[in-house]
Amino acid sequence: MIRLLLRLYSVLLVSEAVMSYFPETMKYSWRRKLKQICDYSCDPIRRFMPKGLPFDFSPVIVIFLIYVFIAAFTYLW
């Protein structure tokens, strides 16, 4: 169940990253809610990343950490 939720969250992160290329979608409430949900985990990573990068790599790092956690969780069980 936890693995399923983590994988669904990683899908949300990917969809948020793709939707960020379409700023006109910010007028929809579901899009603002999606950004709020994803920013919860990406904002702490963004604080440690250097400024001025051409792309936001924080969703990639969060997804990597999720899959590391899933692998560790699977290995322990």
At residue 76 the predicted structure's pLDDT band, cuts being 50, 70 and 90, is: confident
Q: Is the pLDDT of residue 53 over 90?
A: no
63 CB-side CA count, 13 A: 16
Query: How many domains, the chain?
Result: 1
Tallying the residues shown for the chain, one arrives at 77
Domain of residue 23 covers: 2-76
Tokens 């979608």 belong to 25
Q: Is the pLDDT of residue 13 over 80?
A: yes
φ, ψ dihedrals at 65, nearest 5°: -65, -35
Residues 18-27 have pLDDT tens digits of 999 999 999 9
